[in-house]
Amino acid sequence: MTTKEGVMKTDKIFYTLFQVFPELLFQLLGESPNLAQNYQFKSIEIKELAFRLDGVFIPDADHPDYPLYFVEVQFQKDEDFYWRFMTQLFLYLKQYKPERTCCPVILWGKRRLDIGFPIAYQNLLNLERIQRIYLDEIEAESPPSLGISILQFILISGKKAPEQVQSLIEQTRRQIIDPNTQRNVIELIEKIIIYKFPQKSRQELEAMFNLTEWKQTKFYQEAKEEGKIEGKLEGKLEGKLEGKIEGKIEGKIEGKIEGKLEGKLEGKLETIPLLIRLGLNEEQIARELNIKIEIVRQFIANQNN
């Protein structure tokens, strides 16, 4: 999905969210959250199309009457969505031949994005078995579970995000005792922030959200160790760019760029490793940072040398 400020690439965020809070699916379905104890959340490979279904809830073998849940998240209007989703679902059934019922669950960011099932499916399928949940219509619990709170944070506008972050972190500390799980949740919150504001540098995000916890997480520390996050570039990328970055920048500079990369470009380049870690490819990074793909490739090449 296209990543813009305020419009996130949601696939990986929701995959991580369900990994940490598998009970969230059952809360959204109006079922007991305790059902999650009998399920494993997995990513399943579909060989024929060389892709993976990233949201499959598989019941434990000792619960043969429990259904499979296939979860798909959609935050953009797409006329081909149902055609694609049902094709993937039937290919899964063909390949794995599960001997239990199946329940597709579609999480729409907003109701207006859902254009409805194609006519061809309406007599073919029991459409009542396909659960459609419109996330913008979910009513807040009192008190809200942490999973629901994070879900609502994903949906709010960028302008409202800063005031919610500290509340989320405080809720994480109250509700999660295990320090490792606590760090994982804070990392998830960080990733959501980065998705919401892909064009802002780490320093800008730290200032905007007062993220003193940022430096304590594995997500931050791993990036720091790899030289991917620490301080400013101070006119150079880790003191050097190992040679040259070729191509044009803004149509004004040709040949090679050595030494300093000033202003906004510096901040954008600093963001590239984070976006890579979060699953964006070179083309998506170039588009969302509004820079040439050659610059992205050269930066990645220099980081790998």
DSSP-assigned letters across all residues of the chain: ---BTTB---HHHHHHHHHH-THHHHHHTTS-GGGGGGEEEEEEEEGGGTEEEEEEEEE-TT-TTSPEEEEEEE-S--TTHHHHHHHHHHHHHHHH--SS-EEEEEEESSGGG-----HHHHTTS-GGGSEEEEGGGPPPPSSPPHHHHHHHHHHS-TTTHHHHHHHHHHHHHHH---HHHHHHHHHHHHHHHHHH-TTS-HHHHHHHHT-TTGGGSHHHHHHHHTTSSSS--TTSSTT--SS-EES-BTTTB-SEE-S---HHHHHHHHHHHHHHHTT--HHHHHHHHTS-HHHHHHHHHHHH-
Residue 6 has a pLDDT of 38
> Is 224 contained in some domain?
no
Apex 73 CA angle, 51 and 50, nearest 5:
5
Of 174, 208, 242, the residue at which a domain comes to its end is 208
- pLDDT higher than 80, residue 14: yes
Residue 245 has a pLDDT of 47
Average pLDDT in the chain: 78
> Is 128 contained in some domain?
yes
The lowest-confidence range among 180-184, 250-254, 296-300 is 250-254
Rounded to an integer, what distance in angstroms lies between the CA atom of residue 144 and that of residue 158?
21
More confident residue, 51 or 18: 18
Look up residue 255 and give its two tokens: 């040949």
> Is 49 contained in some domain?
yes
The lowest-confidence range among 27-36, 126-135, 199-208 is 199-208
Letter for the amino acid at 135? L
Q: Please say whether the beta carbons of 255 and 294 come within 8 A.
A: no
Considering 4-18, 174-188, 224-238, the range whose residues carry the highest mean pLDDT is 174-188
Over residues 260-289, the pLDDT tens digits come to 445 567 777 877 887 777 667 888 788 778
> Is 103 contained in some domain?
yes
Residue 58 has a pLDDT of 95
What is the separation of C-alpha 55 from the centre of its chain, rounded to a whole number of angstroms?
13
Over residues 46-68, the pLDDT tens digits come to 876 667 787 899 999 999 999 99
Q: Please say whether the beta carbons of 175 and 21 come within 8 A.
A: no
Residue 125 has a pLDDT of 72
Of 154, 173, 208, the residue at which a domain comes to its end is 208
Residue 276 has a pLDDT of 78
Residue 255 has a pLDDT of 43
Of 142, 176, 208, the residue at which a domain comes to its end is 208
Q: Are residues 157 and 35 in the same domain?
A: yes
> Is 214 contained in some domain?
no
> Is 295 contained in some domain?
yes
- pLDDT higher than 90, residue 139: no
> Is 217 contained in some domain?
no
Q: Are residues 245 and 299 in the same domain?
A: yes
Q: Are residues 142 and 190 in the same domain?
A: yes
What percent of the chain is predicted at pLDDT more than 70? 76
Mean pLDDT of 151-172: 85
Q: Are residues 159 and 268 in the same domain?
A: no
Q: Are residues 44 and 191 in the same domain?
A: yes
- pLDDT higher than 90, residue 26: yes
What percent of the chain is predicted at pLDDT more than 90? 30
Mean pLDDT of 196-205: 77
In this structure, the dihedral spanned by the alpha carbons of residues 222, 227, 231 and 232, taken in order and rounded to 10 degrees, is -140
User: Residue 247 sits in which domain range?
Assistant: 232-304
The lowest-confidence range among 86-90, 184-188, 198-202 is 198-202
Rounded to an integer, what distance in angstroms lies between the CA atom of residue 78 and that of residue 58?
27
Residue 247 has a pLDDT of 47
Rounded to an integer, what distance in angstroms lies between the CA atom of residue 100 and that of residue 115?
29
Q: Are residues 145 and 251 in the same domain?
A: no
Q: Please say whether the beta carbons of 288 and 5 come within 8 A.
A: no
Mean pLDDT of 98-125: 90
Number of domains making up the chain: 2
Cis status, amide bond into 143, omega within 30 of 0 = yes
Q: Are residues 120 and 241 in the same domain?
A: no
- pLDDT higher than 60, residue 259: no
Q: Are residues 47 and 93 in the same domain?
A: yes
